[in-house]
Homo-oligomer: A and B are copies of this chain.
Amino acid sequence: MEEKEISKAVIRRLPRYYRYLGELIESGVERISSSELSSRMKVTASQIRQDLNNFGGFGQQGYGYNVKFLYSEIAKILGLDKKHNVIIIGAGNLGHAIANYVAFEKRGFIMTALFDINPERIGKKIRDIEVLPLSELEAYIKENEVDIATLTIPKTAAKEVAERLVNCGVKAIWNFAHTDLNLPEDVLVENVHLSESLMRLSYNITSVEKSREEQK
């Protein structure tokens, strides 16, 4: 009913609020004002209050925000109160790194299987997650619930595999391949383009150098 349509900018900031609140809990802080959080996170207090109020009034006038309560509310908003089964296509180093990262499980992301085409990798286990042959992808998805498919394969294979996933009904893809996947609108794609990230850093290095030269 209340369709306010949350902007991407707000969503981009939510996980960061969540992370800071988690740290506050660890250090035993029970309540926090938007201005105190503002100085820690280096964003304006106004923005914090605006962002949070997109989802409801989590604070209390004169008091601020209860850290634990706000933390759990943001968890709900982000869907971290639900389990998500995640498969990983591509059991190379990057696939390994993600499968090994146990903190994901804590947030409800359960890594259930890896897939690869390399016979040497098939059958091996990472933690207790088995590496299956890519040829069994469809059969696996038919028998197991898959909420998120992670693509850690070269870009040459990515588009084809993505289509196979979509044909099996997978609705969310975490894409590490260096390419855009052109998929139907109802399929959610979250891209992690490492090379683009590195180029942005390179851009900033370059523009600092240029402005230093100009000062001479």
Asked if A139 is an interface residue, CB under 8 A from chain B, the answer is: no
> Which residues of chain B are within 8 angstroms of A140 by Cβ–Cβ distance?
none
Cα-based distance from A186 to B204 in the complex (angstroms): 11
Q: Copies of this chain, how many?
A: 2
Asked if A167 is an interface residue, CB under 8 A from chain B, the answer is: no
> With A79-B205, A192-B192 known to touch, is A15 a contact of B93 (CB < 8 Å)?
no
> With A107-B195, A196-B16 known to touch, is A201 a contact of B188 (CB < 8 Å)?
yes
Q: Which of A84-104 contact B (CB under 8 A)?
A: 84, 92-94, 96-98, 100-101, 103-104
Cα-based distance from A12 to B188 in the complex (angstroms): 20
> With A190-B204, A201-B172, A203-B11 known to touch, is A178 a contact of B93 (CB < 8 Å)?
no
Residue of B whose beta carbon sits closest to that of A94: B97
Is A193's CB under 8 angstroms from B15's CB?
yes
> With A195-B104, A196-B19, A198-B104 known to touch, is A78 a contact of B188 (CB < 8 Å)?
no
> Which residues of chain B are within 8 angstroms of A16 by Cβ–Cβ distance?
193, 196
Is A208's CB under 8 angstroms from B188's CB?
yes
Asked if A58 is an interface residue, CB under 8 A from chain B, the answer is: no
Query: Closest Cβ of chain B: how far from A205's Cβ, in Å?
Result: 5
> Which residues of chain B are within 8 angstroms of A107 by Cβ–Cβ distance?
195, 198-199
Contact partner of A19 (CB less than 8 A), chosen from B84, B103, B178, B202, is: B178
> With A197-B192, A198-B104 known to touch, is A84 a contact of B205 (CB < 8 Å)?
yes
Contact with B along A34-78 (1 / 0, CB 8 A): 000000000000000000000000000000000000000000011
> With A196-B19, A199-B80 known to touch, is A204 a contact of B172 (CB < 8 Å)?
yes
> With A14-B199, A97-B94, A195-B103 known to touch, is A82 a contact of B206 (CB < 8 Å)?
yes
Residue of B whose beta carbon sits closest to that of A16: B196
A and B contact pairs by CB, cutoff 8 A, 9 listed: A12-B200, A15-B199, A84-B205, A94-B94, A172-B205, A188-B204, A190-B198, A190-B200, A190-B201
